Structure 1
């Protein structure tokens, strides 16, 4: 019986990179796109995707996804970001399933939300905090998830692959030396695993930093839980 493997990761936090890395295993079958965007379920899953009170028809969704997965592969891979607020429901409907939880520095995350979604700094900062809170809850309530950060992935891809394979031995032959097509602050291109945090944080203005710090300071314990430091207003900011 195959294992359903869900990458729980906020948008613009490295989910595509991790998803494509996992898909280098010959034992993994990845959906052709994020599951939420497949035509059979897009109208369902993109209806208020970040509303927690939105119940999803998971049996219908699973049946649709299974027409796209290679069911002969031992690992079936999915990574739609809104899944992170519905992980417990997913666990009830996909058996057996495993979860990989990943987060990113909230300053870098907020920059991506502002640039890619044209969000205000306040909206982006609050969303980044919501994701950190939700992911922390996931670490506590899910059954033995693998917990990692974007930073650990890009700083030592080899060690990250070793952790992934120890977590799920079926994920053999992961190729962290490959080039991956991902979107970054430098645009979309084929490139090796690369850390873009410094560029993203440098793109924040002093005003962005001040607004983010007004949000992050009361939540500094949450940042610390994930190993992230509260940053002084001008540290890394654009002049």
Structure 2
């Protein structure tokens, strides 16, 4: 039975039945053929929520040589934990005991994730793009278990990230700042261990988007450049919860912070802010 002709409930039941009944070696071969892993590589977007990861993913998936999932990968597999399960929605780094995975972590969930995702990726050649914010804590595990792979990381000023976290889910500024600090400390400590990685700041992407389209195309070895028209049609939510082209909304977010909020963020994340080139107010 072709997967494209199954209604979602039947497809999910059929998928789970095959996972239960088929030997691991057969599943692994099927996944490799389905995803065409011999001729393509994985591309993981790294960065905390509200850092520009959605805009970045939209740019990447606009290229005809890139395949993507219909939703964030952790929502489409039973192999990976989700923040809502542990009370850390948009703040997964506060449960590193659950979300922090490295080369030493069990590899078993990788095959299940690849298997589940293989039912959603388009059946054609192309780079396999995946964007789930908790990937920020498990890049080294992903490199170990998803070969070959590359990583694009994006970081944004914590004032804007923390304001957005509080506005969207009601967390305290201190809670949001601790998450930003922990997640990005892990990220930038892991980057030297990644064989193929590129990182940049959200602010620089917004200021010089065409330049970063060129950098991304070069990093991904794409023979065809990105179409710059994607920058005018990004379907990414902004501070007003509407859709708009790529634009830096930091000043409006920061304007919603009190002096106490800013002092709290500086006290928690100030050292890392300076390391990443962000000035403390």
Match of 1:78 in 2: 130
Q: Hey, what's the Cα distance between the residues in 1 that align with 2:254 and 2:223?
A: 33
- Structure 2 unpaired stretches of 5+: 1-38, 87-91, 99-105
Deviation at 1:44, TM superposition (A): 4.2
Deviations 1:147-172 (A, max 9, x none): 11111111111000010011012373
1:73-152 aligned within 5 A: 73-152=125-204
Deviation at 1:117, TM superposition (A): 1.7
1:224 pairs with one of 270, 274, 279: 274
Classify 1:207/1:225 alpha carbon distance in 2 versus 1 (closer, same or farther; 3 Å).
Answer: closer
Name the SS for the 2:242 alignment partner. strand
- TM-score under structure 1 length normalisation: 0.88
Name the SS for the 1:45 alignment partner. coil
Match of 1:235 in 2: none
- TM-score under structure 2 length normalisation: 0.75
Name the SS for the 2:222 alignment partner. coil
Match of 2:57 in 1: 19
Match of 2:101 in 1: none
Tell me if the contact between 1:27 and 1:73 (Cα under 8 Å) persists in the aligned partners.
Answer: yes
Name the SS for the 1:10 alignment partner. coil
Classify 1:171/1:203 alpha carbon distance in 2 versus 1 (closer, same or farther; 3 Å).
Answer: farther
Measured on the aligned residues, the alpha-carbon RMSD in Å equals 1.8
Tell me if the contact between 2:158 and 2:265 (Cα under 8 Å) persists in the aligned partners.
Answer: no
Q: Considering fraction of residues, name the structure with more strand.
A: 1
Classify 1:10/1:23 alpha carbon distance in 2 versus 1 (closer, same or farther; 3 Å).
Answer: same
Q: Hey, what's the Cα distance between the residues in 2 that align with 1:171 and 1:128?
A: 35
Corresponding residue pairs, total: 225
Match of 1:31 in 2: 69
Tell me if the contact between 1:100 and 1:147 (Cα under 8 Å) persists in the aligned partners.
Answer: yes
1:199-210 aligned within 5 A: 199-210=252-263
Tell me if the contact between 1:177 and 1:192 (Cα under 8 Å) persists in the aligned partners.
Answer: no
Tell me if the contact between 1:181 and 1:188 (Cα under 8 Å) persists in the aligned partners.
Answer: no
2:114 pairs with one of 62, 77, 85: 62
Classify 1:228/1:171 alpha carbon distance in 2 versus 1 (closer, same or farther; 3 Å).
Answer: farther
1:198 pairs with one of 251, 265, 268: 251
Tell me if the contact between 2:214 and 2:225 (Cα under 8 Å) persists in the aligned partners.
Answer: no
Deviation at 1:134, TM superposition (A): 1.5
Q: Hey, what's the Cα distance between the residues in 2 that align with 1:172 and 1:138?
A: 30
